[in-house]
Structure 1
Amino acid sequence: MNLTLNGAWNWLFFRLHRPWIAAAECAAITVSSADLVRRVGATDRRTGWALAPYPAWCGFATVLNIAIAWLNRGRR
């Protein structure tokens, strides 16, 4: 699921030039990544901790995506 969401974000942002929809998609990736860390951490604590930066990065990427969408509002 996470891989599909990541691929869809690239398509929405770069191919279709839909930064607001891509931002929503990026938020979904963040939630999916946090859930991935939770599920993996329940099975293997060390691996869960190793994955912990991933949803943090996705959260930052969501904020960055929103900033780009905001700066480009009205250009289309």
Structure 2
Amino acid sequence: MSKQFSLEETLAIMNDTARKNYAMTELLAQAFSAFVISTGNKDAVVDFIKSTSATGELVEAHKHAQQSLLKILNSVEIIPTNKH
């Protein structure tokens, strides 16, 4: 027997899942950006991101993703570690 969820419970579960997925995507973008910056490939990756596109219903979402990734890429700074 499966439990029936109210609309409010269902929306709360969906909201929690969306937040967790967004946080994971943002963390992956930050890690990716740190790798790109540390390997000296920022310009090539920025050019690649700017050259990508989408069609149909994804156009606006793709533009948002491009802007978000470029913003994260530009905000990442690598802090050098002291090696003895």
- Tell me if TM exceeds 0.5: no
Q: Which has the higher contact order (CA 8 A, sep 6+)?
A: 2
TM interval, shorter chain, is 0.3 to 0.5
The structure richer in helix per residue is 1
Higher-Rg member (1/2): 2
Q: TM-score normalized by structure 1? A: 0.43
